[in-house]
Amino acid sequence: MKHHILHGAGLALRPALLAPLKKCAPDALQFLELTPPDWVGVGGRVGQDLQQLTQRYPSVCLSQSLSLGGPSALDPDVLRDLRVFMATHNVQVFSEALAWSADDAPLFINLPIPSTQAAVAWTVARIAQVQEALGLRIGIRNVAHHMKPLQVEMNEAQFISAVVRASGCSLHLDLHALAANALRFSFDAHAFLKELPLASVDYVRVGSESPLLADVLAHTHRRVARCVDDVKQLDLEAVAC
């Protein structure tokens, strides 16, 4: 099963950035982060412009539409479209939100998965289905949420660790989401990090939490790819070009 590791700093690509990047891409740009709803099914001139960029830069697919923790069957059409999109644009890394985001229909929100052993087994089985459908090892990503799960047998960091260990997937760490949850639910973000399987981290999304980033990089070194989101200098350079 394929698994790639990106290096350096990347840019969360939005449609509004296509034109500036065609004219002048920042020298520091080393890969692109693509959110499927922005791009899957897009054709015409926009699709051509996107393909020119993805031919130049390696890409990661940042998804939150599969509802890994949800009760309904995984959507084979969504998985098929994702696989075609990833092949078209040579996407090397796939990141999925560790959340429950759909039942019989999309919920348009990331809900926390119950932190139970049964939920670990359920989620691990779903990850296996996704990896088989996409033909590569995926990464699961912590997300910001607005409520705690009602069923709790372990804390969130322990739940994430259990899923990573049992599934063999990698951990894609969103520091912005971690900092937001720490503030919302009053827990120590640095203590949370210490409970995570940092050896399995191979992708980091960065907001403005530079102290947290230092903690992660101290344990992961050069294996980690950083996606610099729109509050960071790379995006500002892209818009200014």
- pLDDT digit string (tens) for 44-79? 999 999 999 999 999 999 998 899 998 889 999 999
Q: Look at residue 55 in the predicted model and tell me its pLDDT.
A: 92
CB atoms under 10 Å from CB of 223, counted, come to: 16
| Alpha carbon distance 154, 168 (integer Å) | 20
In the predicted model, is pLDDT for residue 85 greater than 50? Answer: yes
Within the chain, how many helices (H) and strands (E) appear? 10, 10
| Alpha carbon distance 23, 70 (integer Å) | 42
Phi then psi dihedrals of residue 237, to 5 deg: -65, -40
Question: Domain for residue 114, yes or no?
Answer: yes
Question: Domain for residue 167, yes or no?
Answer: yes
Token pair in block for residue 171: 């951990």
| Interaxial angle between packed helices 156-167 and 117-134, expressed in degrees from 0 to 180 and rounded to the nearest 10 | 50
Provide the 3-class DSSP secondary structure of residue 231. coil
Residue in the block written with tokens 């530079």 = 210
Question: Domain for residue 240, yes or no?
Answer: no
Question: Domain for residue 14, yes or no?
Answer: no
Per-residue pLDDT, averaged over 177-194, amounts to 93
Q: Look at residue 25 in the predicted model and tell me its pLDDT.
A: 83
Q: 193 is in which domain, residue-wise?
A: 34-42+60-230
The segment with the largest mean pLDDT, out of 21-30, 100-109, 220-229, is 21-30
**The total number of structural domains that make up the chain:** 1
Question: Domain for residue 143, yes or no?
Answer: yes
pLDDT in tens, 161-181: 999 999 999 999 999 999 999
Looking at the DSSP assignment, which residues form a beta bridge with residue 62? 95
Q: Look at residue 234 in the predicted model and tell me its pLDDT.
A: 47
Residue 103 binned pLDDT confidence (cut-offs 50, 70, 90): confident
- Supply the mean pLDDT for the chain: 87
Phi then psi dihedrals of residue 232, to 5 deg: -100, 170
Question: Domain for residue 64, yes or no?
Answer: yes
Beta strands in the chain (DSSP E): 8-12, 31-34, 59-63, 91-97, 100-102, 106-111, 139-141, 170-174, 201-206, 225-228
Task: Report the first-to-last Cα separation within the chain, whole angstroms.
Answer: 39
* Residue whose C-alpha is closest to residue 36's, from 69, 59, 8, 4: 59
Which residues neighbour 34 within 8 Å (Cβ) at sequence distance 6 or greater?
Answer: 13, 54, 59, 60, 61, 62, 89, 91
Give pTM, 2 decimals. Answer: 0.88
Q: Look at residue 216 in the predicted model and tell me its pLDDT.
A: 86
**Residue 219 carries which side chain, given as an amino acid letter?**
H
Question: Domain for residue 9, yes or no?
Answer: no
Residue 107 binned pLDDT confidence (cut-offs 50, 70, 90): low
DSSP letter at 34 equals: E
Residue 237 binned pLDDT confidence (cut-offs 50, 70, 90): very low
Q: Look at residue 162 in the predicted model and tell me its pLDDT.
A: 98
CB atoms under 10 Å from CB of 179, counted, come to: 18
Residue 114 binned pLDDT confidence (cut-offs 50, 70, 90): very high
Question: Domain for residue 121, yes or no?
Answer: yes
Q: Look at residue 208 in the predicted model and tell me its pLDDT.
A: 63
Task: Determine what percent of the chain falls in helix, strand and coil, rounding each to the nearest 5.
Answer: 45, 20, 30
Q: Look at residue 109 in the predicted model and tell me its pLDDT.
A: 78
CATH code at position 206: 3.20.20.150
